[in-house]
């Protein structure tokens, strides 16, 4: 009987996919298809959850099949991320206009990412204090014990690394190994490697322009092919969002979420507050925040459902360039750096909130100005090299808590609500990356204002 119900659920998903495909054939806009998929996924997920239960064989069996669409889509995106990061950075160096402002652009992107992370840490601190969150209130069940056991090894590795060692870990060791994403810091290592190749290209262009021209043509050709692959994958976005959202709503532990409701609400208050800061920064730069929301929302929606900043990179870069008018070079830099530096949600808000919650158990007054200032600085510095995939926030939290000699067990105690909060954090990470791109483009003059101001069009994918 369970098999029959699983088959029925699969048939329902297939019918919904056919419906989304029909919308595509009718040339319904990409954003409308994404939001339709989001809504359908929520409805189907809730239906499965309430009919069969979270842990039933029918639910687990159905989700296992649904993962072919959802997880398969995210896997395809991750497949192209490292090649895209590498070729995007090198391609940026081969563009003459971009290289004239290279140092200024790199400094602005990184500065904005780190600066907004420091602001997000401050918001996380204020929110935790305002909601009077305390780590001692959290309960520890079997899942939490198992999670903390897993974290002990990771925490040991982090605690045994000095700050100089952590900085060294950012540098590429074996480019081919880094391209596989083998280490948490592989993304930033690939960015550094690509930048070194780009700097070498600039030297060759001065001394042997004919070789540089040939290399630039090769890079441009590869970039064109990679972006075509990106386009092909992005066409699957509505189907991926449908399956991913169905999984989230069908398998969430709502009783656990209710118990930790105060922390969940506080987290989203902080996330929304930081998103408003992004809009304020855009307004200060004389960029219409409403226009930004309309054009960025499909990308942020996918980031929300996928919980992967890395998986969202192709859509991030394309939205910055095609919809927000940011030059390709800056969009590539902001998108790529945003994967590992200054993630406002995962590396800013989350570690700061946890540190405030556990400070009293370590005999520290969370209202102490010195402690707060130190926390903000540590969060900003630790935001380098945070992996842009699900779980990056855990790594960031371990780094910050270990650096401040605070208990790390709280990280495992939040496992039941981690996926729900991570959705909002990831969307904020991506928004921070796109905001950095827009602000940098505006400051350097490498931005097409007409593209930004034009009415919302359909992102061509």
How much is the pLDDT for 146? 46
173 secondary structure, DSSP code: S
- In angstroms, the CA 101 to CA 444 distance is 8
Q: Does residue 436 surpass a pLDDT of 90?
A: yes
Quick one: CA torsion of 412, 248, 318, 219, rounded to 10 degrees? 60
455 secondary structure, DSSP code: P
Q: What percent of the chain has pLDDT over 90?
A: 38
Tokens 């931005």 correspond to 447
Q: Is there a domain that residue 190 lies in?
A: yes
Classify residue 379 as left (phi > 0), alpha (psi -120 to 50) or beta: alpha
Q: Which one has a higher pLDDT value, 2 or 321? A: 321
Where residue 214 falls among pLDDT bands split at 50, 70, 90?
A: very high
Q: Is there a domain that residue 459 lies in?
A: no
The string of pLDDT tens digits covering residues 274-308 is 999 999 999 999 999 999 999 999 899 888 988 88
Q: Is 407 helix (H, G, I), strand (E, B) or coil?
A: coil
How much is the pLDDT for 42? 92
The string of pLDDT tens digits covering residues 381-435 is 877 766 555 556 777 787 788 788 887 777 666 766 777 888 899 999 999 999 9
How much is the pLDDT for 202? 87
Mean pLDDT of 6-26: 93
The string of pLDDT tens digits covering residues 338-390 is 887 888 988 899 899 999 988 888 888 889 999 999 999 988 887 776 655 55
How much is the pLDDT for 84? 85
How much is the pLDDT for 435? 96
- In angstroms, the CA 314 to CA 331 distance is 10
Q: Is 447 helix (H, G, I), strand (E, B) or coil?
A: strand
How much is the pLDDT for 147? 46
How much is the pLDDT for 326? 93
Mean pLDDT of 247-264: 81
Residues 6 or more apart from 164 whose CB is under 8 A from it?
A: none
Q: Does residue 271 surpass a pLDDT of 90?
A: yes
346, 409, 444, 423: which is closest to 106 by C-alpha?
444
Q: Is there a domain that residue 222 lies in?
A: yes
**Average pLDDT of the residues of the chain:** 84
Altogether, the residues listed in the chain come to a count of 461
- In angstroms, the CA 225 to CA 43 distance is 37
Residues 6 or more apart from 292 whose CB is under 8 A from it?
A: 279, 282, 324, 434, 435, 438
Domain of residue 224, CATH code: 1.10.3860.10
Where residue 320 falls among pLDDT bands split at 50, 70, 90?
A: very high
The domain total for the chain is 1
Residues 6 or more apart from 218 whose CB is under 8 A from it?
A: none
Rounded to 5 degrees, what are φ and ψ at 117? -65, -40
The string of pLDDT tens digits covering residues 149-179 is 444 544 445 555 666 776 777 788 888 888 8
Q: Is there a domain that residue 100 lies in?
A: yes
Q: How far is CA 389 from the centre of its chain?
A: 7
Residues 6 or more apart from 208 whose CB is under 8 A from it?
A: none
Residue span of the structural domain in which 211 resides: 2-453
> Residue 323 has which token pair?
């919809």
Q: Is there a domain that residue 54 lies in?
A: yes
The string of pLDDT tens digits covering residues 70-128 is 989 888 888 888 888 888 888 878 875 555 677 788 889 999 999 999 999 999 999 99
> Residue 303 has which token pair?
């980031």
Q: Where are the beta strands (DSSP E) in 307-394?
A: none
> Residue 11 has which token pair?
């048939």
Q: What one-character-per-residue DSSP string does 388-402 give?
A: SSTTHHHHHHHHHHH
Element holding 377 (H helix, E strand): helix 369-382
The string of pLDDT tens digits covering residues 137-153 is 555 544 444 444 444 54
306, 186, 180: which is closest to 247 by C-alpha?
306
71, 9, 339, 390: which is closest to 190 by C-alpha?
339
- Bridge partners (DSSP) of residue 36 are none
How much is the pLDDT for 438? 96
How many CB atoms are closer than 10 A to CB 166?
Answer: 17
The string of pLDDT tens digits covering residues 222-233 is 988 988 888 888
Q: Which one has a higher pLDDT value, 138 or 182? A: 182
91, 107, 113, 85: which is closest to 190 by C-alpha?
85
Rounded to 5 degrees, what are φ and ψ at 308? -140, 110
- In angstroms, the CA 305 to CA 308 distance is 8
Q: Is there a domain that residue 460 lies in?
A: no
Q: Is there a domain that residue 417 lies in?
A: yes
Mean pLDDT of 208-229: 91
> Residue 316 has which token pair?
């991030």
How much is the pLDDT for 163? 62
- In angstroms, the CA 396 to CA 74 distance is 22
CA distances from residue 310 to 82, 186, 210, 272, 451 in whole angstroms, order as listed = 9, 12, 35, 21, 25
Which of 98-107, 254-263, 330-339 bottoms out in mean pLDDT, i.e. has the lowest? Answer: 98-107
Q: Is there a domain that residue 461 lies in?
A: no
């Amino acid at each position: 009987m369970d098999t029959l119900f699983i088959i029925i659920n699969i048939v329902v998903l297939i019918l919904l996919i056919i419906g989304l495909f029909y919308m595509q054939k009718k040339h319904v806009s990409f954003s409308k298809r994404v939001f339709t998929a989001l809504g359908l996924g929520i409805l189907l997920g809730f239906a499965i959850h309430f009919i069969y239960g979270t842990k039933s064989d029918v639910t687990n069996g159905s989700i296992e099949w649904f993962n072919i669409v959802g997880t398969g889509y995210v896997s395809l995106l991750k497949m192209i991320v490292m090649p895209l990061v590498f070729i995007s950075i090198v391609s940026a160096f081969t563009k003459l206009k971009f290289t004239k402002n290279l140092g200024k652009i790199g400094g602005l992107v990184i500065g904005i990412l780190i600066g907004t992370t420091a602001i997000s840490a401050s918001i996380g601190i204020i929110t935790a204090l305002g909601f009077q969150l305390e780590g001692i209130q959290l309960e520890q069940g079997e899942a939490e014990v198992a999670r903390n056991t897993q974290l002990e090894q990771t925490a040991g590795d982090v605690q045994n690394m000095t700050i100089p060692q952590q900085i060294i870990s950012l540098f590429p060791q074996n480019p081919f190994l880094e391209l596989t994403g083998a280490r948490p810091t592989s993304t930033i290592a690939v960015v550094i490697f690509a930048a070194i190749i780009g700097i070498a290209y600039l030297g060759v262009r001065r001394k042997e322009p004919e070789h540089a021209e040939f290399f630039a043509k090769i890079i441009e050709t590869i970039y064109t092919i990679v972006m075509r692959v990106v386009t092909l994958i992005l066409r699957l976005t509505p189907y991926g969002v449908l399956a991913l959202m169905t999984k989230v709503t069908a398998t969430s532990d709502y009783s656990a979420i209710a118990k930790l409701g105060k922390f969940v609400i506080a987290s989203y208050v902080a996330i929304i507050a930081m998103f408003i800061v992004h809009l304020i920064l855009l307004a200060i730069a004389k960029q219409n925040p409403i226009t930004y929301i309309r054009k960025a929302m499909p990308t942020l929606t996918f980031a929300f459902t996928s919980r992967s900043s890395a998986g969202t990179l192709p859509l991030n870069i394309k939205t910055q360039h095609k919809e927000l008018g940011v030059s390709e070079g800056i969009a590539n830099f902001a998108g790529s750096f945003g994967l590992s530096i200054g993630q406002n949600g995962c590396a800013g808000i989350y570690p700061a909130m946890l540190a405030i919650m556990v400070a009293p158990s370590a005999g520290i007054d969370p209202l102490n100005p010195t402690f707060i200032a130190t926390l903000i600085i540590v969060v900003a510095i630790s935001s380098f090299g945070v992996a842009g995939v699900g779980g990056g926030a855990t790594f960031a939290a371990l780094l910050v808590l270990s650096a401040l000699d605070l208990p790390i067990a709280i990280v495992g105690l939040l496992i039941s609500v981690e996926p729900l909060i991570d959705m909002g954090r990831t969307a904020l990470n991506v928004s921070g990356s796109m905001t950095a791109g827009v602000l940098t483009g505006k400051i350097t003059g490498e931005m097409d204002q007409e593209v930004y101001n034009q009415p919302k069009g359909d992102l061509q994918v």
